[in-house]
């Protein structure tokens, strides 16, 4: 396979063509070339190799968005592991014919402040947050920043609906709402929507209301108009409904991990397939797994017994409408 790849890429030239004006040709010593047939599989092979490159961290990656998670019993050992990890990642990039982008590399400490690291003559100072797959992760595991960023995106989308869809009908503007607003909410909604507090949910709902106003073309600020009724007429769910659907669906998908067979007398809760309430104190209360366990007890027995995802999803949607 290596010989085939080398043969395929050997003596390959490139040029730029702009309206028939052709530039000089050149060749590349590194890389497979953007848009070439072998580029996607070679990229996937290279990316997958990162999962097995080091044993001191747990690697999470999707396309070009990658993150290493390390842990240690002391701050000193954590800093030593960070330094070692950066060294190993630099070596991986070097063998792949690339260079680690120090400017885009971030270090976030949970429960402590990491030391500043030096990589390729660039200092990497610890950050209070990072963005991974569109989710803003804070060092205190809060979601305030993510909700704030979402509100800005939603209001911007509402403004686009108002300006760019001025001559569209209501049905078409609703479609834009689903794509530009609900799409932003639901793309990674399972990671944060179940953890919203009342203030965060209210801020998101107020931002979404701007999109509802844009659909109907009513002023941004208007009295004696029920936005809830307008939203219901469009058959659009509220933030509360979306959050409940997300966590109930996740609970159903996780049904095999729940121990519903318990010793002792058969109570009403056990007959319904419920499990003991999870500990929600401290950081455990900020975990999706905790919210998922609580949500399982809110599902009706009929839904818990279903094997079809489509049927379960339909029932959950009916329950939260």
Q: Tokens 């002792």 correspond to what residue?
A: 264
Among the listed residues 136, 118, 124, the one whose alpha carbon sits nearest the alpha carbon of residue 184: 136
Residue pLDDT tens, the chain, 321 long: 889 888 888 888 888 899 999 999 888 777 777 778 888 888 888 778 888 888 899 988 887 788 999 999 999 999 999 999 999 999 988 887 788 888 889 999 998 999 999 988 889 999 999 999 889 999 988 899 999 999 999 999 999 999 999 899 999 999 999 999 999 999 889 899 999 999 999 999 999 999 999 999 988 777 778 899 999 999 999 999 999 999 999 999 998 888 777 676 777 777 888 888 888 888 788 889 999 999 999 999 899 999 999 999 999 999 998
Sign of the torsion angle spanned by Cα atoms 15, 16, 17, 23:
negative
Give CA 75 to chain center in angstroms: 28
Interatomic CA distance for residues 28 and 14, integer angstroms: 8
DSSP letter at 191?
G
Q: Show the tokens assigned to 273.
A: 């397939």
In 3D, which of 177, 184, 100 has the Cα closest to residue 134?
A: 184
pTM of the predicted model as reported, rounded to 2 decimal places: 0.79
Quote the tokens at residue 28. Answer: 């590349």
């Amino acid at each position: 396979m290596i010989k085939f790849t080398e043969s395929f890429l050997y003596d390959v030239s490139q040029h730029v063509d702009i309206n028939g004006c052709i530039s000089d040709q050149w060749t590349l010593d590194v890389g497979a070339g953007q848009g070439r047939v072998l580029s996607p599989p070679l990229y996937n092979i290279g990316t997958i190799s990162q999962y097995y490159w080091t044993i001191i961290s747990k690697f999470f990656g999707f396309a070009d968005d990658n993150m290493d998670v390390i842990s240690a019993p002391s701050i000193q050992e954590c800093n030593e592991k960070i330094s070692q990890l950066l060294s190993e990642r630099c070596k991986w990039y070097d063998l792949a014919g690339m260079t680690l982008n120090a400017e885009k590399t971030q270090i976030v400490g949970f429960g402590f402040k990491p030391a500043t690291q030096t990589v390729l003559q660039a200092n990497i100072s610890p950050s209070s947050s990072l963005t991974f797959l569109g989710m803003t992760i804070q060092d205190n595991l809060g979601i305030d920043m993510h909700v704030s960023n979402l509100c800005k995106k939603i209001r911007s989308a509402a403004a686009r609906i108002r300006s760019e869809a001025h001559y569209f009908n209501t049905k078409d503007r609703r479609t834009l709402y689903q794509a530009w607003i609900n799409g932003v909410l639901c793309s990674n909604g399972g990671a944060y929507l179940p953890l919203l507090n009342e203030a965060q949910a209210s801020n998101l709902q107020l931002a979404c209301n701007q999109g509802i106003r844009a659909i109907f073309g009513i002023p941004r600020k208007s009295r004696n108009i029920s936005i809830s009724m307008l939203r219901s007429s469009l058959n659009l769910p509220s933030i509360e409904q979306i959050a409940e659907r997300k966590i109930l669906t996740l609970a159903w998908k996780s049904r095999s991990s729940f121990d519903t067979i318990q010793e002792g007398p058969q109570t009403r809760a056990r007959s319904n397939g419920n499990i003991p309430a999870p500990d929600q104190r401290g950081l455990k209360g900020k975990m999706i797994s905790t919210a998922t366990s609580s949500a399982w007890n809110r599902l009706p027995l009929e839904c818990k017994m279903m094997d079809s995802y489509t049927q379960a999803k339909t029932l959950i949607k009916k329950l939260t409408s």
